[in-house]
A and B are shown apart, each in its own frame.
Chain A
């Protein structure tokens, strides 16, 4: 709901948000926000600016110049400033919940993973699905949501350590799917919002959403195969860090902001404590049903063997400095 001052109050990633831009986050009541998003003056550069990238990073500061849409400044994990540059609100929102959000989470020492997550094991844990762009992560998440799993995050997943355990932060109750994925899932008739006017990509709200941070229980890395069959193979523990690190979301941002310690510790714990598997499936033809079947079967076997750490209850929201 929009307040009298034009701001909305949201909850996402274990944080309270106050935003002048509509976001797909869950609404919340009032109270002191952890993060404020507002229009304002954005610095033209962060000294010492070098290189050709549209983004610059310094300790506690991040700048992204998306010419023709907006310029964004992220400060100390608490504030996002936007200077519009011709982009409409949806274009600005799309950028906000992607790289800008990743920079803010990294400033708060949250490890950002390129993947999505669902609640598993009757609420006892979370499964995360990592993979490159176009590897079928969101389609798989959608299929799992259809099968009764509650969503935790899509595309950008935040992970932290709570009492030494890797925990997934609940993001927001929406999936972003391309038109072909909607067809594949039989979701064409559902209410959707086009992400941007010129793109055939849609945001779909989901009802099943886990709202509390959840201990990470199993990690799957999606990849291509020449075979039509889906295969699931364990990643040797010595290689797990490399796989999880490879699928970090914009790890170069955190290097630039010199905030990689929390990220490193979280990824190390994931690699050490969380069983990690590679899932290979044919890209063409991509069939989401058999992929979801294989993942479900694998999780059943895994949990029956009690190979995942358990979680008696949801952890409290992690506190950020």
Chain B
């Protein structure tokens, strides 16, 4: 009856975290990237249509949000607890129907018993990765990150197999999740996952275990869980090794990855920190700093960007 939301702006390490989690729960040989825990259930149109009953393609954006509350509750009811679900939406308020009298505030992700692991990444690196993911220019990715009405999987004039995910801006997204008081949140910085994957992943696991002592829900996985600190260290190290970025890339090249955007060349691109220094122009960095500087400062991303801009200014 409980959900662990794996929430993030796109291209912030969500899938990599799911690869770590899947490998940790499975133990043994490397997990398939096409069977990662926490897949797109909360945005699956077919599941929505079948469980909610209404046709998601004939609902307005507000109606979709309203019925997502029931959908999440139905999913939580049907799946073992706690269940993991990847989401890219901002922490959104749910508008009441016109016909309803004044009703209390409702939030898209707080209608069910849940906690959140929120993954966040330097927006300068997100811009580079997001451009690749969308197979569009970096300027286009930055425009999307600065757009308060941005929607992922929100095909204009058409329909996708996923329910559209309203993102708001990059900083709007981060603020919505970190500023809300409805759900406990554990923040995982992408840069920490790269620098010290075992420690960053272990901290997230401990957060989940603290809230859900019954974790993991699956009995077989429960049987495989480490019984002492030594076993835990070994299990974490194995998961980190199996989910190493180059292994994920190799798997994708060999088997394909069903979650990849059809337009993208690959999903697992580089997975490095600081790629933006080579890929972004000073104008592009300036645009992101101007739009998101305050939140970048909170997360420790601003100083490096400002130093880059100062250097660029000095060299002009």
A98 to B100, CA, bound (A): 24
Residue from A51, A95, A134 within 8 A of B77 (CB atoms): A51
Interface string of B148-179 (1 = CB under 8 A from A): 00000001111111000000000000000000
Any chain B CB within 8 A of the CB of A226?
yes
B: residues with CB less than 8 A from A are 45-46, 49-58, 60-61, 63, 66-67, 70, 73-74, 77, 97-100, 155-161, 256, 262-263
Give me 17 other A-B pairs in contact (C-beta within 8 A), A98-B58, A199-B60, A284-B263 excluded.
A51-B77, A53-B52, A54-B52, A68-B66, A86-B98, A95-B58, A98-B54, A99-B54, A133-B57, A178-B159, A180-B155, A180-B158, A181-B158, A198-B61, A252-B50, A252-B53, A253-B53
Chain A positions within 8 Å of B50 at CB level: 250-252
A146 to chain B, nearest CB (A): 19
A70 to chain B, nearest CB (A): 10
Beta-carbon contact of A134 and B51 below 8 Å? no
Count contacts between A and B, CB distance < 8 Å. Answer: 102
A132 to B161, CA, bound (A): 8
24 contacts between A and B (CB under 8 A): A53-B70, A54-B52, A54-B53, A54-B67, A67-B100, A68-B63, A68-B97, A68-B98, A68-B100, A86-B97, A98-B58, A99-B53, A132-B161, A133-B57, A178-B159, A180-B155, A180-B158, A198-B61, A199-B60, A200-B158, A252-B51, A252-B53, A253-B53, A284-B262
Chain B positions within 8 Å of A252 at CB level: 50-51, 53
Residue from B53, B161, B263 within 8 A of A55 (CB atoms): B53
A86 to B77, CA, bound (A): 30
6 closest pairs, A vs B, by CB? Answer: A68-B97, A86-B99, A284-B262, A179-B157, A180-B158, A52-B73
Chain B residue at minimal CB-CB distance from A156:
B55
A53 to B53, CA, bound (A): 8
Beta-carbon contact of A200 and B53 below 8 Å? no
Beta-carbon contact of A54 and B56 below 8 Å? no
Beta-carbon contact of A134 and B54 below 8 Å? no
A95 to chain B, nearest CB (A): 7
User: How many residues on the A side are at the interface (Cβ–Cβ under 8 A)?
Assistant: 39
Q: For chain A, residues 172 to 206, give those with C-beta under 8 angstroms from any C-beta of chain B.
A: 178-181, 183, 195-196, 198-201
Chain B residue at minimal CB-CB distance from A283:
B262
Q: A133-B46, A178-B159 known; A196 and B98 CB under 8 Å?
A: no
Chain A positions within 8 Å of B159 at CB level: 133-134, 178, 201
Beta-carbon contact of A98 and B63 below 8 Å? no
A263 to chain B, nearest CB (A): 15
Chain A residue at minimal CB-CB distance from B111:
A52
B257 to chain A, nearest CB (A): 10
Residue from B46, B58, B156, B262 within 8 A of A195 (CB atoms): B58
A66 to B97, CA, bound (A): 10
A188 to B57, CA, bound (A): 20
Any chain B CB within 8 A of the CB of A94?
yes
Chain B residue at minimal CB-CB distance from A246:
B46
Chain B positions within 8 Å of A198 at CB level: 60-61
Chain A positions within 8 Å of B160 at CB level: 134
B221 to chain A, nearest CB (A): 27
Chain A positions within 8 Å of B98 at CB level: 68, 86
Any chain B CB within 8 A of the CB of A85?
yes
* Among B52, B61, B67: residue with most chain A CB under 10 A: B52
Chain B residue at minimal CB-CB distance from A68:
B97
Any chain B CB within 8 A of the CB of A64?
yes
